[in-house]
A and B are shown apart, each in its own frame.
Chain A
Amino acid sequence: MSRPPRPAQPRLKRFFAALPPGGKLLALCILSLITFYSSNLWFLAALSLAAPLLFLLCGFSLRDLWRQLRLFAVFSLCLSIFQLFNSTAAMAAADGLRLFGLTASAVFISAVTAGSALLRALERCLKIFAPLGLNPRQTALALALVLRFLPLLQQTYAELRQAQKARDSAKLRLRGQTQLLSLTLMRLIEAQENIAEAIAARGFEAAAAPTEKQLQKKKDIG
C-alpha cells in the first residue's frame, strides 16, 4: 500500500527550516540585545507584527498562531496595563511590544526548527566549554537519558495517581501529593540503576574518552 503524498511545505518554511539552527539561535540572541536597548515604538511594533506574519506565511494556521502566542499576548497586555499606571503610555506600549515581539520571534524559531536539530546545535555549542571541564559526550548521553526518563516518569506518575484516586476518591491533598512524588521518584531510582547498568554493559564510559596518549600508555603497560 502506498503512502499518501505529504503536503508540500511552503517555500518560506523550507527556507527557514534549512537555515543552520545555531545561526538561528545566534540571530535570536542579537535580536534580543537590540530589542532590549531600543525604545523605538515603530521598530518594536514592526517586530511584533513581523514574527506572527512570518509564522502565517510559513503555512501555520491562525489557530496554531493563537495557540502558540496567546499566553505571551496576555502577558504582554497585562504588562502594558501595569506599566500604564507607572509610566507614560508610550513606555507602557514599548514594554508590551518588546516582550511580545521577542517571544513571538522565539516561538517562530522554535516552530521552524526541529527539536533534535536544535539539541544537536546546543551540543555543538557545549564543545566550547570542553576546556573548562565540561564533557560534551557525557552531556549528550545525559540529555538522551533525560528524554528516556521523561515518558517513564509521566507514565509512573499517572499510574500511581490513578491508583491513589481509586483508593481514595477525595481530592488529591498535600499528603497524597507528597506520597505520589516520592513513590514516583523511588520507582524510577530503581529503574535508572538498571538503565545505567545496561549502558555500562554496552561498553559506554561516562568519563571522557581516553586520549591517544593514554591508550598508548595503557598498551605499553600491558
Chain B
Amino acid sequence: MNLKALSLTALFAAFIALLGFLPPVFVPFFPLVPLTLHSLGPILAGAVLGAERGFYAVALFWLLLLAGLVFAAGSTGPAVFLGPTGGYIIGFGLAAFIIGALYSRFPPAAKRSPFLAAAQEFCFLAIGSLSIYAAGIFWLMILTKMSLTQAIWLNLLFIPGDCVKIILCIIIRRRLLPLLPAASGTLR
C-alpha cells in the first residue's frame, strides 16, 4: 500500500470513529442496542476504498476502540466488544469487505443507466448491512440466550434507519469519487 492510499485508509478509519462521537438514540422497546449513524462509516469505507482497504480501515478503528481512544455506541475499551453491541462492531469489518468486493466484482455503470446503477449500489450496500445484522444477531444470541426469531424481530427496528444510511452512502460516495483519483493513484 502506498503512502497516499494508507493515509486515505487512515482518514476513513478516523471518519468511522467520528461517527461514533455523535450521540446515540435509544429505541424505546429495545434499549440494549442504540441507534447510531455509526454503520454508515464502514459501508462507506467499503464502497469507496474497496474490500481490503475498507476492511483495514475498520481494523484500525477496532484497535483504537480496544485501546479506549475512540467511542462506539457511547462506550469504549474492551467492554464494547464484550457487550451487546460487540457483534455489530465486528460485523462492520465484514460489511466493508463484502461491499468492497461487490463493487469491484460488479462495478455499477452510472453512465449507462443512473437509476439501475443506484439500484445496484443499494443492493450491494443492503447486502453489506445485512452482514452487520448477521454478526450482531449471532452475538446477541450467544450473549443474551435469545432465540433467533426474537433477535431478528428486535433487529427489524433498525431497518428504516439503515435504508436512510444506505441512501446517504450512495450520495456521499458519488460526491467523493471525482476527488479520489487525485488522492490515490490506485483507487477508482
* A75–B42 alpha-carbon span in the complex (Å): 25
In the complex, are the beta carbons of A178 and B171 less than 8 A apart?
yes
Asked if A60 is an interface residue, CB under 8 A from chain B, the answer is no
Asked if A54 is an interface residue, CB under 8 A from chain B, the answer is no
| Binary contact track B14-37/A, C-beta < 8 Å → 1, others 0 | 110110010000000001100000
In the complex, are the beta carbons of B83 and A118 less than 8 A apart?
no
Q: How many interface residues does chain A have, given as a range?
A: 35 or more
Of listed A99, A147, A192, residue having the most chain B CB within 10 A: A192
In the complex, are the beta carbons of B7 and A199 less than 8 A apart?
yes
Minimum CB–CB distance from A194 to chain B (whole Å) comes to 10
In the complex, are the beta carbons of B6 and A206 less than 8 A apart?
yes
A207 proximity list for chain B (CB < 8 A): 1-2
Seen from chain B, the residues whose Cβ lies within 8 Å of a Cβ on chain A are 1-11, 13-15, 17-18, 21, 31-32, 40, 56, 60-61, 63-64, 66-70, 74-79, 82-84, 142-146, 150, 164, 168, 171-172, 175-176, 179-180, 182-183
Could you list some 18 contacts between A and B, CB below 8 A? A28-B78, A72-B79, A72-B83, A83-B145, A99-B83, A138-B1, A138-B6, A143-B60, A153-B14, A157-B18, A177-B168, A182-B172, A185-B172, A189-B11, A189-B179, A196-B3, A196-B4, A205-B3
Starting from the known contacts A102-B82, A174-B164, 17 additional A-B residue pairs (CB-CB under 8 Å) come to A75-B31, A87-B145, A91-B145, A95-B145, A99-B83, A110-B76, A118-B66, A142-B6, A142-B10, A142-B13, A146-B14, A154-B21, A188-B15, A190-B179, A192-B8, A192-B183, A196-B6
Seen from chain A, the residues whose Cβ lies within 8 Å of a Cβ on chain B are 25, 28, 32, 36, 71-72, 74-75, 78-79, 82-83, 86-87, 91, 95, 99, 102-104, 106-107, 109-110, 115, 118-119, 122, 138-139, 141-143, 145-150, 152-154, 157, 174, 177-178, 181-182, 184-186, 188-190, 192-193, 195-196, 199-200, 204-207
